[in-house]
Each structure stands twice: as C-alpha cells, then as structure tokens.
Chain A
Amino acid sequence: MSLMAVVFTGILLFAVGAAGFVLRGNALVLLLCIEIMLNAVNLVLAGFSRYLYGTEGQVFIFVIMAAGAAAAAVGLAVVAALRRRLGTADMNRINALKG
C-alpha cells in the first residue's frame, strides 16, 4: 500500500460523508456523517504520520478524536432537544431559526 492509496481512501470516505451530510435530512444521520468525515481526516493524518515519520499526525488524531466526541455529545443533546421541542428531527422540515 502506498500513501496514494491511503489518501485515495481518505478522499473517498470524506466524499461519502459529505454527500450524506448534504443529501440526508435526519439529524442523527447527519451526526453519523460528521463522524465519517472526521474518520477520513484521521486516516489521512495517520498515513502521513507513517510515511513522513512524524508524531504530530498522531497527536492531531488524538485532538480530533476529542473534538469529535465533544461534537457528538453536544450534537446529540441538540437533536434530543429539537426532537422534544419540535417533534421532528428532519432538517428539511426545520426551517425557522426562531424556536
């Protein structure tokens, strides 16, 4: 496996995640797509860390994982609040900024 293969896989995963984020309406699925995109970025960082022999890539991955966990926690709380308050979590039907 070359670094090109790793980067290709990362681009593919990121594109799938981004497409899902744009195309799907369910708020929970949007959060899942965000996690996919974070993972794609982590994959590319790990690849570069391996091939260029640096520790920074893996340190970045730790930080991104922490940020992803925080995003998941806050995002799920927001989804739960939306669901309770508006009765739906379909992003196509939530079109008002005013609660």
Chain B
Amino acid sequence: MMNTLLFWALAGTAAASALAVVVFRNPVNGVMALLVNLLATAGLYLLMGAPGIALFQVILYVGAVLVLFLFAVMVLDWKTGGPPFVVPLKPLTAGAAAVVLAGGGAAFLAGNRLFPRTGLPEGPPGPGPGIREIALDLFTRHLLVFELASVLLLAAAVGAVLIVRKERKRS
C-alpha cells in the first residue's frame, strides 16, 4: 500500500516534470525540470528493487549529463524573449501524439487481456535480481556489450571534441 502510494507520487512527479521540460521556454528551467524528472525516476528504480540502477542514474545522469547540459546553457548564453511558457500546440502533431499514446496503451491492455498466458505477472516474484548477479552477468555473458559501450563513449568524447574544435579553427 505504502509502495503503491509512493509509486504513483513519483510517477506523477516524473510526468509533471517531463511536461515542464516541454513547456518551459528557457532551457535552464528545462534542465532543472529534467533534474526533478531524473530524481523521480531514480526513486522509481529504488521502488522496483534496482538500487544499482538508481545509483547510476544519480551519478551518471544527474552528476554528469545534466552538468554538461548546464555548462552548455551557461556557455552559449540563450537569450529568451517572450513569456516563460510556450504551449506548442500544433494541432496535427498534438493529435498524432495523443493517438499514439492512447493507441499504445489500448493495444497493450488488449494484448494483456487477449493472451492471459503470455500476459503480465500480477505481482513481483520475490526480491529482484541483486547487484551481484547483475555484475556477474555483465562481466561474463554480456562482456562484449560492455566493452562496446566503452568504445562508444570514447568515440563520442573524441567526436565531441573534434566537432567543437574544427568550428573554432575555421572562424
């Protein structure tokens, strides 16, 4: 009961802050709303018995990626005029988004009702996988993916430096 209340509170916070990211005109406010969203999602991970993921969410996303976003906002000096909120309601795209959301949810529910044997379990089967099991799995069966991720990060870092630097050299 307590968990359910906490879950819906966190889910509501996450949804509201995601909406705020979309609606705020100033990117700084958007980054701050994303901070709330990421922390709420970290709380959801904790509720779902994934403390390792929650930890990495806070360290990696809040600690690294969001700081990077804040640096970008600070360095680039976004001048924003007009009201603090934008309500970008182009009717066609808004309608398409609503249809996708409703259709996805309805299809999911219908699939769950139609195929009860392949449907969702009602409750969690005991505690979730521990961080030890995940680490063992990551470093044995999924070692290649792990190494590829490190190569990807290296390539991204080098690429980011190159993109910014080339521009500076030309001007």
Which chain A residues have a beta carbon within 8 Å of chain B's beta carbons? Answer: 1-9, 11-13, 15-20, 22-26, 28-29, 31-33, 35-36, 39, 42-43, 46-47, 49-56, 58-59, 61-63, 65-74, 76-81, 83-85, 89
Evaluate contact between B105 and A16: CB separation under 8 angstroms: no
Evaluate contact between B152 and A15: CB separation under 8 angstroms: no
B116 within 8 A of A: no
Please encode chain B, from 59 to 71, with 1 for each CB lying within 8 Å of some chain A CB and 0 for all others.
0110011001100
Contacts A55-B137, A70-B156 given; 8 further ones with Cβ under 8 A?
A1-B3, A5-B11, A11-B108, A20-B22, A35-B61, A39-B61, A63-B146, A80-B72
CB distance from A21 to the nearest CB of B (A): 9
Q: Within 8 Å CB of A43, what residues of B?
A: 41, 44-45
Contacting residue for A51 out of B3, B30, B124, CB 8 A: B124
Evaluate contact between A46 and B50: CB separation under 8 angstroms: yes
Bound-state Cα–Cα, A98 to B61, Å: 33
Evaluate contact between B48 and A50: CB separation under 8 angstroms: yes
A9's closest neighbor in chain B, by CB? B11
Bound-state Cα–Cα, A1 to B43, Å: 14
Evaluate contact between A13 and B65: CB separation under 8 angstroms: no
Please encode chain B, from 133 to 171, with 1 for each CB lying within 8 Å of some chain A CB and 0 for all others.
110011000100110011011011101110110111001
**Number of CB contacts from chain A to chain B under 8 A:** 222
Which chain B residues have a beta carbon within 8 Å of chain A's beta carbons? Answer: 3-4, 7-8, 11, 14-15, 18-19, 21-22, 27, 30-31, 34, 37-38, 41, 44-45, 47-50, 52-53, 56-57, 60-61, 64-65, 68-69, 72-73, 75-76, 78, 86, 88-90, 93-94, 96-97, 100-101, 104-105, 108-109, 112, 120-126, 128-129, 133-134, 137-138, 142, 145-146, 149-150, 152-153, 155-157, 159-161, 163-164, 166-168, 171
Evaluate contact between B93 and A19: CB separation under 8 angstroms: yes
Bound-state Cα–Cα, A82 to B126, Å: 50
A contacts with B: majority SS: helix
Among B31, B44, B93, B108, which residue has the most Cβ atoms of chain A within 10 A?
B44
Contacting residue for A55 out of B38, B89, B129, B161, CB 8 A: B129
A12's closest neighbor in chain B, by CB? B15
Q: Assuming the A-B contacts A9-B15, A24-B88, are A32 and B50 also in contact, with contact meaning beta carbons closer than 8 angstroms in the complex?
A: no
